[in-house]
Amino acid sequence: MEQITDTFQIEDNYYASFANKTKISIEKGEGVYVYDEYGKKYLDLTAGWGVTSIGHANPVITQALLEQSRKIMQNPNSGATYSPARARLLSLMQEILPENLNRVFFASTGAEANDAAIKLARKATGKLNIISTEKSFHGRTISTVSATGQSKHREKFNPLIPCHIFVPYNDIEAIAQVIDQDVAAVIVEPIQGEGGINVPDSDYLEKLSDLCQEHDVLLIADEIQTGFCRTGSMFASDGVKIDILTMAKGIAGGFPFGAFAMSEEVHDKLEVGDHGGTYCGNPLGCAVAYAVIKYMLDNQICENVKEVGEFAMTELLKLKTEYPHIIKDVRGKGLLLAIELSDEELTASLNAKCLNKGLLINVTQGNVVRMFPALNINIEEMGKGLRIFKDALTEVNPVSN
């Protein structure tokens, strides 16, 4: 008991309080489950906000960490020297990336990858403006906050980086009206994540790509949340011509790592010294990312995501029919799912009841429950989570039609 109290007290006293923290202290995890310091077991449908893509404490990750850390974790002169671990990962990524995106640079976070993509797009084109979409989320650096289409994330940090234009999501005509205004790039999430799991029309990205090509504007696909099998394909933008693709979260299964890939045409317009970073492409991160991606390919994780995602969507739509007065909408793709509820107070109560019953979910935009579990979750585990969710939903509002 004393150990738990100390954990809470120490963090409350000394850790910067930028988040409303849940009063549980997680000590360990295994697969889709985590355990607090008391030993209570929770089914985790958040995957660390989509990060623990192949489950907690997956042996392939711990083995990669052990083997590489015994060799070297950080190169002398950092990325200015070559690395077998980096070369191995680069070779594997050529198998999964779109054919035209054959130049890759590694980062430590998704925000860092997006920040670099915006910066380099301006350098490569010689133009200034960046088009982004309303309700988008691209990171928490001052540059990526400036590109984020939510005023609650932007306005309190003025002055922001200028030259950002915001248009409604899933609206090609809105982009067409502003794309001539000295635009370097359009940055877009194939499915908006933090903005509420907003899924565009099936041809939205393709039309956007055509529009960008027509106007000699770069298209940046922010696949921080949607990449690496999350929606049932390796990347949600597969099949669409992209100029820069940014990645993080699931790429290394929980190890802080990110990347961006660009076309040879963009790369040829950049120079030595245009970008860098101390930890970019460090051997330890590269070894873990290689192990995670190889695991996804060897275990057909994309197929599992499609199967379990279809099951989950079917069950959630049944709940929507049963609770039409509570559930306004169910949407998503693969294992990136959203349940939009009628109001924020009810959503907060539901979240608390789920936690009490041993289920971890995520709430975004106040009234949207986001479920994005480990991608190797099975139907039985997902079914258990959805049953707990339904039990909590019944307790929040037992009246159903």
CATH assignment of the domain containing 214: 3.40.640.10
Residues 276 and 312 in one domain: no
**Cα–Cα distance between 27 and 38 in angstroms, integer?**
9
DSSP-assigned letters across all residues of 42-94: EEESSHHHHT-TT-BT-HHHHHHHHHHHTT-SS-TTGGGS--HHHHHHHHHHH
pLDDT value at residue 398: 63
93-127 core/surface letters (b: 16 or more CB in 10 A; e: else): beebbbebbebbbbbbbbbbbbbbbbebbbebbeb
pLDDT value at residue 50: 97
pLDDT value at residue 399: 62
Residue 151, domain extent: 71-298
pLDDT value at residue 257: 98
Residues 278 and 193 in one domain: yes
Q: Helix or strand or coil: residue 299?
A: coil
Q: What is the pLDDT of residues 185-236, one digit of tens each?
A: 999 999 999 999 999 999 999 999 999 999 999 999 999 999 999 999 999 9
Residue 66 lies in a domain: no
| Structural domain total, the chain | 2
> Hey, what are 123's tokens?
């350098």
**Cα–Cα distance between 29 and 33 in angstroms, integer?**
6
pTM above 0.85, yes or no: yes
Residues 264 and 304 in one domain: no
**Residue 215 near residue 183, CB atoms below 8 Å:** yes
Residues 355 and 388 in one domain: yes
Cis peptide before 190 (omega within 30 of 0): no
**Cα–Cα distance between 60 and 227 in angstroms, integer?**
20
Residues 85 and 201 in one domain: yes
**Cα–Cα distance between 287 and 271 in angstroms, integer?**
27
Residues 234 and 337 in one domain: no
Q: Which of 245, 267, 298 is the last residue of a domain?
A: 298
Q: What is the pLDDT of residues 250-282, one digit of tens each?
A: 999 999 999 999 999 999 999 999 999 999 999
What does pLDDT average to over the chain? 96
pLDDT at residue 401 is higher than 50: no
194-226 core/surface letters (b: 16 or more CB in 10 A; e: else): bbbbbbbeeebbebbbebbeeeebbbbbbbbbb
pLDDT value at residue 397: 79
Residues 251 and 346 in one domain: no
Beta strands in 215-335 (DSSP E): 218-222, 244-247, 258-262, 327-333
Residues 327 and 221 in one domain: no
Residue 63 lies in a domain: no
Residue 220 lies in a domain: yes
Residue 154 lies in a domain: yes
Residues 190 and 266 in one domain: yes
Residues 83 and 183 in one domain: yes
pLDDT value at residue 54: 98
Q: What is the pLDDT of residues 147-159, one digit of tens each?
A: 999 999 998 999 9
Burial class of residue 299, CB neighbours in 10 A (0-12, 13-18, 19+)? middle
Residues 272 and 348 in one domain: no
Residues 117 and 211 in one domain: yes
Number of Cβ within a 10 Å radius of residue 236:
24
Beta strands in 215-257 (DSSP E): 218-222, 244-247
In degrees, rounded to 5, the angle at the alpha carbon of residue 378 between the alpha carbons of residues 373 and 383 is 80
